[in-house]
Structure 1
Amino acid sequence: MTKHTEQTTDQHGQHHDQQHGTRLAAQEAGITSRELWWHYYSVGGNGGRFELDAYLEGMYPLPVGERNLIALVLNELIDDLPQRRRAPFVDETPAL
């Protein structure tokens, strides 16, 4: 396996883990994709509602910065609820 293939595999794994964790956190908290998108958009998120829905379903990849912004917004919404699962962040620094 080449270094590029290892990085691509790791990045895909991180993307999947973050997407899956974010989806679970939103579901367990009872936060709808519409509510999440509204808060994400209000703090400067670049994706549309369709892209956010597709991301949460694992069908649309988003850049790390956008995924982390979604995680941040979701965690803020969860903070207003009783203790729940938190959405995971991923380091934006590429592996060497």
Structure 2
Amino acid sequence: MEEIRRRTRSLLTEGSITPDDLWIAFYAVGGTAGPLELEAYVHGLMQISMIDAELLSDALLELQERRFGR
């Protein structure tokens, strides 16, 4: 889970994705954490379920594919 958090924080910090883009993609793949919960997780302030962490990883892959063609 830490790798997902680190990768997400990196993409947000460099401006590759916005928090809104992240949450929309996360929600679209079935994530249940709210926008504030997701942001708190990314910054290490709280935990999310393992399922939501996996869905966050899926959402990141989708965002990267759309934005960077990977």
Q: Does 1:16 align with 2:2?
A: yes
Match of 2:62, as an amino acid? E
How many angstroms apart in 2 are the aligned matches of 1:24 and 1:18? 10
Is residue 2:41 matched to residue 1:55?
A: yes
Q: If the length of structure 2 is used for normalisation, what is the TM-score?
A: 0.79
Which of 34, 52, 55 in structure 1 is aligned with 2:20?
Answer: 34
Q: Which runs of 4+ in 1 moved over 2 A?
A: 15-18, 25-29, 81-84
CA RMSD after TM alignment: 2.0
Higher helix share: 2
Per-residue deviation at 1:49? 0.4
Of residues 58, 61, 69, the one that matches 1:75 is 61
Q: Which runs of 5+ in 2 are unaligned?
A: none
Shift of 1:60: 1.2
Corresponding residue pairs, total = 70
Larger radius of gyration: 1
The runs of 5 or more residues in structure 1 that have no matched partner are: 1-14, 85-96
CA offset digits 1:43-78 (Å, max 9, x no partner): 221100000110111111112211110111111110
TM-score by length of 1: 0.61
Q: Is the Cα–Cα contact under 8 Å of residues 4 and 56 in structure 2 kept in the other structure?
A: no
Q: Tell me which residue corresponds to 2:30.
A: 44
Q: What one-letter code is carried by the residue in structure 2 that aligns with 1:81?
A: R
Identity, % of aligned positions: 31
